Structure 1
Amino acid sequence: MNHVWIDPSAGVAGDMLLGALLDAGADLAAVRAAVHAVVGDAVSVRTERVTRAGLAATKAHVELHDEDPPHRTWTTIRRMLDHAAVPEPVRRNAVTVFAALATAEGAVHGVPADDVHFHEVGALDSIADVVGVCAALHALGVTSASAGTVALGSGTVRAAHGAIPVPVPAVVALSRGRRVRAGGEGELTTPTGMALVAALATTDEDLPELTVTAWGSGAGTRDVGGRPNVTRVVLGERATRAARPLAHQLEATVDDLDPRLWPGVLARVLAAGALDAWLVPVVGKKGRPAHVLTVLSPPERSDELEELVVATTTTLGVRRTEYTRLVLERGWVEVGVEGHAVPVKVGLLRGVVQQVMPEFEDVARVAADLGWPERRVLAAAHTAAAAAGWTVGGPPPGDLRR
């Protein structure tokens, strides 16, 4: 997976994120082509190498060629995106970002999202920022994104209706469910920047485990002393793990069942396809002795096993939790103890022996035949398995019987 982690710890604006992605190697020509496809010649994009508090960064300049651009509605912008000749992932992501922004602005101003009609959404520079970022992500081959804690800022900022507190209301609305902090004075995160993070970065997290392939810093307009005014990105291949099988854990707490019935209950759920089942004695409400029945079930059998638990016990309900399982490759080998065959269960993980355990029912049978204590047969079976090369931490010396 080609993943991008966004670091908005000093804030984020649309042009800052665009600059960071261009600094990380996104094709400027591809960004310009996408922006032109949506807004034509009304906007141009250029870059400049700058420093912010001593840190080198790329400043993305979105320059308007219209002195008084119209204030478009979200409906108009969506129509522009629908008819633009841009790659489908670019269109899809841009629509997602603007939908989030329009919804937030509409909630703040008390109007439907489709009727949002003001500078912050409709300005050409915001359209260029959003389309440019989506085009840069596509050019970099990014397939997933996450972000760290977002610095929003503090104080006040002047808008069309006068001074408003920072973070501005739209940024607050877009921050629902995200990790945020003040982070400094002034407006550190704009509505467009927050919409990009909220819509495209599906996970809040610190820098994840990556094999880093590129990184970049995008500069804000101001050079603030003591704090680099930049948004950073880190790109890389995200560590992936093999898919693990799922299981449902079914539980019921029962305090009024005849204890003599429990062995039959366990036997029936196992016969019905449970992966495992066990019983734990507990002290329940009002000090009553009780049992917690736990059944580990394949997902496709959970409904059937829940009904069986209800039918075979006195419970009034069953709890269900989904888990993933690490399942060792397993099989059998046979070893000899005084001429008697004892099956030994072996578990492997990535081709290495992890478990070697004689089957106890067979150990008990051989012990009865030989007149030995069971522990002596168990020890002899372990010794025979080790002599055959089946030792924990080593490679399997042969094939397992499945």
Structure 2
Amino acid sequence: MNELSKGANAPLGGTGLAITVVGTQPGTVDLMVLQLTADGVVRTDDDFVFYNQPRSPEGAVRLDGGDITVDLSALPPQIERLAVAVAMDDAAPGSLASSPQLAVTIDAHGEQYAVTATGFTSERAAVLVEIYLRGGAWKVRNVSAGWDGGLPALLREHGVSVENDTPQTPLAAASTAGPLPATPPVAAPPAATPMPSSSGPVDLGKRAGAISLTKGQRVSIEKSPVITARIEWPAATDYDVFALVRYADGHDETVATFGTRKQKKATQVSSDGAVRHLGDVKRAKGARGKVGAPMATEVVEISLAPNIVAVVPVVYSAMSNGTGSFRRYQVSMSIDNGRGDSVRIDAANASDHNKIYTCVPGIILNPPSGVTIEALELYSKPRSERRPILSGDLRVLMDEGDQNRFKW
């Protein structure tokens, strides 16, 4: 049995999965599965599998008590993720922290993985594990992250329609009632048009340990004297990292190993010495295009003095480096405070497009109470070599800055 720690992932062999979740109980902690597109939302409410709708439309996902069976080969081509989630009934007191026995086992063609859901505080709904398609292969990740707002927050985040203050609808009933009678009442089906995610990021509050964020999520960790932002990719290709730094007086600086056409000279250290690029990492010798190449890492070191408002690490693959794909090369960013807390953001929503050169995984904010990281996962336009910029209200605007100078 392979144990997956929080944020860890592993490949899945075969197409048939047998998933068992312990610690759930209908009417107290309910189990559910959401079929999601690459954008992290359902196509319609029929992609929400729960005890009153225990089968996905095509039958690829089936729920029976605490057991889930999945046939990955039968999933519609638009479905690239499955979120195995739990939510507390409205009538149940407390939070998921009072359910320490929550755990998941996945049997994938004889290979078994175990996930123990840990680190919950005030959350009343959470995604325990995510099964996702990456580079044509299926993987599983221990997510163990959730929402204080319970089932409605979970559903809205994934595009399922929720009728506020109308518990009689089938979806709302999942948060307020136990198992329904064998013969369900006749009722109109929920609206088929997915609702957009909430206007602001989903705030997971302050956390500790290893945390994995998906696009639109925000989390806070303890502040330490030095924060590191690490960008990782297979050394079969060559990515570069630079960082945008916003100061309290409104001015911006860029820390990089290469310049732009207008400003050819680059600096690896901010003017106050608070943000440092620790050096360019080249493609591994002889590894160009090879499968299984070692991982490469570039590091930006940050001392979050009070005069720094935000830092935006940017990942860049120049046209002069040749073609590349953030999805194919599985680029990721990790923020670490050196005290056992780390936040990881993967390029989960990247396309296979070979001419997208820039990705902004997330933004690091510097409030007095800690360090806040928000997963953005923004990508440049195809063939654009222009850098992103920060707006006055800290929005990252892609393709609005100077054009990068090629590295030869």
Relative to the length of structure 2, the TM-score reads 0.21
Larger helix fraction of residues: 1
Larger strand fraction of residues: 2
Larger gyration radius, structure 1 or structure 2: 1
